[in-house]
Amino acid sequence: MSIPAIELMTTLRSGHSTSPRLTWYGPEAERVELSGRVLDNWVAKTSNLLQDELDAAPGMRVRLDLPAHWKSLIWGLATWQLGMEAVLEGADADYLVTDRPPSSKGNYDAIIAVALPALAMRWPGELPAGAIDYASDVRSHGDVFMAHADPAASTCAVHGHDGQRHLHENLLDSFAASHEEGVRLLVPAADGLEAALANSLGAWQSGGSVVLAHPDVELTDHLLATERIHGS
């Protein structure tokens, strides 16, 4: 049985292939816009990195130690597409994905360092021994994802900050926030990664799109009008 995250990626890839699905406003005038097809390509590349390079499999756990950011949403979607669990609180996981890599691997099978600047082609500076440079490595992976193993809908998809767990089969019902059909949703990054993931899932499943804004970005009337933001 296909899990909701896989069905969502199919919808974004086919039903909204050319229209914007995720727009990021970051510091220093960063603006990144991903159509459904481009969003799916990033998620596929990240899923392939996990599966092919790191031997990730359904049921394994990924600690997402990241702020709310467009790359963080990519990682959430890739984790779920593989049938893995996104750990948003605590350190007990198979993999650590972070923008502040520790000096040693600890108990993780792998540490993936994520450089947040939009144009980063590699991690700035030296990485700890054994850490994987996401910006550099992800580009070599394929744009299409084919799972090696079928994920189980009854396994955990999210371990949230309140300790609450959500299963893959309930991801779009119990975890995703409810939003109106076709919403162009403003998601403040200051609300944190869990809120960004839940709100983005809710917007996408209703056929909408997301504008994710860094806390340093001034949300002017001009910006809101330009992005046609009309719901929350």
Identify whether 231 is part of a domain. Answer: no
Identify whether 198 is part of a domain. Answer: yes
Buried b (16+ CB within 10 A) or exposed e, 183-207: bbbbbbbeeebbbbbbbbbbbbbbe
- Predicted confidence pLDDT, tens digits, the chain (232 residues): 589 999 999 999 887 788 999 999 999 899 999 999 999 999 999 999 999 999 999 999 999 999 999 999 999 999 999 999 999 998 799 999 999 999 999 999 999 999 999 889 999 989 988 899 999 999 999 999 999 999 999 999 999 988 899 999 999 999 999 999 999 999 999 999 999 999 999 999 999 999 999 999 999 999 999 999 964 4
Tokens of 167: 């299963």
Q: What's the pLDDT at 1?
A: 56
Q: 48 and 141 in contact (C-beta within 8 Å)?
A: yes
User: Pairing mode, if any, of strands 209-213 and 20-26?
Assistant: parallel
Identify whether 211 is part of a domain. Answer: yes
Identify whether 78 is part of a domain. Answer: yes
Q: What's the pLDDT at 232?
A: 45
Q: What's the pLDDT at 231?
A: 46
Q: What is the total count of domains within the chain?
A: 1
Tokens of 30: 């960063």
Identify whether 22 is part of a domain. Answer: yes
Residue span of the structural domain in which 81 resides: 4-226
Q: What's the pLDDT at 17?
A: 83
Q: What's the pLDDT at 14?
A: 86
Per 3-state DSSP, the chain is made up of helix, strand and coil in percentages (nearest 5) of 35, 20, 45
CATH at 61: 3.40.50.12780
Q: How many residues appear in the chain?
A: 232
Identify whether 213 is part of a domain. Answer: yes
Identify whether 62 is part of a domain. Answer: yes
Identify whether 232 is part of a domain. Answer: no
